[in-house]
Structure 1
Amino acid sequence: MDTHTFRTRRLAGPTGLLAGALLLVGLAACGNGSGGDVETQTGAETTETASVPETTEEESPVPEETTPYLDPSLGEPSKSGSDSQTTITGTVESGIESGCLVLEYDGTVYGIFGSYDASVVYAGAQVTLHGQVDAGMMSTCQQGTPFVVEDAESAD
């Protein structure tokens, strides 16, 4: 049996007419245009059943004591105490993402970033890197603790 025809016949019966009438009444009630007040009508008499409170401009929607505070120094290496120069030595490896380099030193994997000589720092090279750890740095490499290289030398 054609589904479209079946649905049409089903809605045309007495139950379908009642459901259609209820749907129309519901839609008409939604579009009464009353704005902020919800009203019900009984004959010629209208009674107010609920009202939406209005806020004044003087009232704050969120109390001050619950307003979150974000410290602007978060994520800035100059504020977090990571200004110290660090030296790491090891073999550079390719990262899991294309174009990313990592180096494992003393049990920690470092992602290598910064301005460095690509003829010295490349996958497979033994190097000594001087720079700073920047734990707040965001990267697409998704691997290791970010290490910003300031100077690189071959360890061979």
Structure 2
Amino acid sequence: MTAQTVTVQTSRVRRIAGLTGPLVGVLMVAVLAACGSGGGGSEDETSTPVTSAEPTSAPETTEESPVPEETTPYLDPSLGDSSKPGSSSMTISGTVEAGVEAGCLVLEYEGTVYGIFGNYDASVVYAGAEVTLTGAVDDGMMTTCQQGTPFVVEDAQSSD
């Protein structure tokens, strides 16, 4: 590489460096890669691009899904809805206790622990409160409380 070639390449880099925008980095990398690909030999050398005879497309897959259909999870949109068919309204009462998970409340009634969910007045339903709750059990409801049978509250009254 001659001094004149180095000067020309340096001035190209300076012009590119003066550009603004997201392409500057890409252009800098391309210029530097082009400068370094000469191999340091004489100017008579030519480079040949490396090509592959193999196609670069992804191979076709004829396999079916590795997960059988019967194990694919399905979330029923009616889960968590106390108005769905089969849910009957009931009334439970007792002392509300804090659940094992933060923010969860439970109430034990006739030997069954119920997780308390739904829209209720937090000034009535809280850990330590004596309450009477009207609502429905929702066995299909998914919760993070990991405790009790889900009970969706429709009405809450203080028993004090």
Q: TM-score, normalised by structure 1?
A: 0.52
Using the alignment, how far apart are the partners of 2:99 and 2:119 within structure 1? 18
TM superposition shift of 1:128? 0.2
Could you tell me which runs of 5 or more consecutive residues in structure 1 were left unpaired when the two chains were aligned: 1-32, 34-54
Which residue matches 1:87?
91
Partner in structure 1 of residue 129 of structure 2? 125
- 2:119 and 2:111 map into 1 onto residues whose CA distance is 24
| Alignment TM-score, normalising by the size of structure 2 | 0.51
Q: Distance in 1 between matches of 2:103 and 2:64?
A: 48
CA distance in 2, matches of 1:74, 1:111: 20
Distance 1:67 1:128 in 2: 44
Q: How many residues align?
A: 98
Aligned mate of 2:157, from 133, 153, 156: 153
Q: Hey, what's the Cα distance between the residues in 2 that align with 1:61 and 1:98?
A: 43
Q: What is the aligned counterpart of 2:110 among 63, 84, 106?
A: 106
Looking at structure 2, the residues matched to 153 and 86 of structure 1 have their Cα atoms a distance apart, in angstroms, of 14
Residue 115 (1) aligns with residue 119 (2): yes
Alignment of 1:2-151 (within 5 A): 68=70, 76=79, 78-79=84-85, 81-82=86-87, 84-151=88-155
Return the offset for 1:131: 0.5
Structure with more of its chain in strand, by fraction: 1
> Unpaired runs of 5+ in structure 2?
1-53, 55-61
Contact persistence 1:126–1:154 (CA under 8 A): yes
CA gap of 1:127–1:68, structure 2 versus 1, over 3 A, is same
What one-letter code is carried by the residue in structure 1 that aligns with 2:100?
A: I
Structure 1 stretches of 4+ with a deviation exceeding 4 A read 69-75
Residue 132 and residue 61 in structure 1: after superposition, are their counterparts in 2 closer, same or farther (change >3 A)?
same
How much is the aligned-residue C-alpha RMSD, in angstroms? 3.2
CA offset digits 1:87-133 (Å, max 9, x no partner): 00000000001110000001000000011011110000000000111
Q: SS state of the match for residue 122, structure 1? A: coil
Look up the equivalent residue of 1:86 and give its one-letter code: M
Check conservation: 1:75, 1:137, Cα contact below 8 A. Answer: no
